[in-house]
Amino acid sequence: MDEFPAFFPHVKNSFMDGTQRPVQRPKDGRNRKRCHSGKKKAHTRKNLVSSDENKTVLLLSPTKNGRVHDKKRMDKESWMEFIQPHLMCRFDEGFQGLQGPNVTRPKKKPKGTALTHEKKEQNRTISGIRMINEHAMAGIERLCSTWHVYRNHKGRDDTFMLPASALRNFHLECT
DSSP collapsed to 3 states, 41-109:
CEEEEEEEEEECCCCCEEEECCCEECCCCHHHHHHHHCCHHHCCCCCEEECCHHHCCCCCCCEECCCCC
Domains defined along the chain, listed by start? 4-162 (3.30.420)
Q: Report how far apart the first and last C-alpha atoms of the chain are (Å, whole number).
A: 28
Q: Say if CB 90 and CB 12 are below 8 A apart.
A: no
Low-confidence ranges of the chain (pLDDT < 50): none
Q: What is the rounded CA–CA span in Å between residue 51 and residue 20?
A: 16
pLDDT at 2: 62
Q: What is the rounded CA–CA span in Å between residue 35 and residue 149?
A: 13
Q: What is the rounded CA–CA span in Å between residue 142 and residue 128?
A: 21
pLDDT at 97: 75
HSE, side-chain direction, 13 A CA sphere, residue 83? 23
pLDDT at 76: 81
pTM of the model: 0.81
